[in-house]
């Protein structure tokens, strides 16, 4: 946690983080009023995980923020996306099999980097962990592809290493939804216990070639 706090403090020192006192309910209400209210760069726009935060608390003065925090009001720490992109400049990352990808972190708006009960968000923790663990190739599901836009920005702002990425496709069920533990999706163990052979399981997973006992996995798997 000390490492995460140090990363947050560096971003705060750059003037890129601000406290947000809005509850989820207040944010929803503000978004609902977006049609009648002036828009900023992100106001009312759809993001990868829902409508973007409208930037309400970004407009608060330093004295207003200090007063709210001194009063003990709950708050989250958000990244001022517009300022952050201005500081970082144009960014890209290397995606194995696809080449250079242009980073567009603004699709997330002012993302939350920490909360009182969660000292580091997924975005901050992943980015910092990859660096301190000396990860050179981040391999994860395609469902997290868009999160990499934010991670690449944080790497630049914090002066961290820049790994390569490989986002693999997701396995989906008959309903088209990706297989996930939280949905009690069928596991490899359950398939094995049901009598499915390794070849059958590989076919279900969409493998294009089989594994041969003498030569390992052939190219194209």
What is the reported pLDDT for 85? 97
Question: Which of the pair, 204 or 166, is modelled with greater confidence?
Answer: 166
Whether 19 and 75 have beta carbons less than 8 Å apart is answered as: yes
2-168 maps to which CATH number?
3.40.50.620
Alpha helices, DSSP H, located in the chain: 2-13, 24-32, 62-70, 81-88, 122-132, 147-158, 188-193, 198-204
Which residues of the chain does CATH 3.40.50.620 include? Answer: 2-168
What is the reported pLDDT for 63? 92
Q: How far is CA 54 from the centre of its chain?
A: 19
Please count the CA atoms within 13 angstroms of the CA of 75 that sit on its side-chain side.
19
Question: Which of the pair, 100 or 190, is modelled with greater confidence?
Answer: 100
Quote the percentage of the chain above a pLDDT of 70: 86
Spatial CA neighbour of 23 closest among 58, 50, 53: 53
Q: If you count them, how many residues does the chain have?
A: 221
**Is 82's pLDDT higher than 90?**
yes
Q: Which residues contact 111 (CB under 8 A, 6 or more apart)?
A: 78, 79, 81, 105, 121, 123, 150
Residues 13-53 pLDDT 10s: 999 999 999 888 878 777 777 654 434 444 445 566 667 88
Lowest mean pLDDT among 59-63, 91-95, 170-174: 170-174
CA distance linking residue 195 with residue 166, whole number of Å: 32
Residues 90-128 pLDDT 10s: 999 999 999 999 999 999 999 999 987 788 999 999 999
């Amino acid at each position: 946690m000390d490492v995460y706090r140090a990363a947050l403090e560096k971003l705060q020192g750059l003037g890129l983080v601000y406290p947000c006192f809005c509850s989820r309910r207040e944010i929803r209400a503000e978004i609902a009023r977006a049609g009648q209210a002036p828009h900023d760069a992100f106001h009312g726009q759809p993001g990868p995980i829902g409508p973007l935060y409208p930037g309400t608390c970004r407009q608060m003065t330093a004295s207003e923020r200090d007063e709210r925090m001194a009063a003990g009001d709950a708050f989250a720490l958000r990244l001022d996306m517009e300022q952050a992109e201005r500081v970082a400049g144009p960014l890209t990352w290397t995606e194995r099999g696809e080449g250079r990808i242009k980073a567009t972190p603004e699709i997330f708006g002012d993302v939350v980097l920490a909360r009182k009960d969660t000292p580091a968000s997924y975005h901050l923790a992943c980015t910092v962990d990859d660096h301190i663990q000396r990860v050179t190739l981040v391999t994860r599901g395609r469902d997290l592809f868009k999160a990499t836009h934010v991670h690449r920005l944080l790497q630049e702002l914090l002066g961290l290493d820049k790994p390569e990425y490989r986002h693999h496709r997701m396995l989906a069920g008959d309903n088209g939804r990706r297989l996930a533990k939280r949905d009690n999706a069928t596991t490899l163990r359950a398939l094995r216990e049901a009598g499915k052979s390794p070849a059958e399981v590989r076919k279900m997973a969409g493998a294009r070639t089989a594994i041969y006992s003498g030569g390992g996995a052939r190219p194209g798997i």
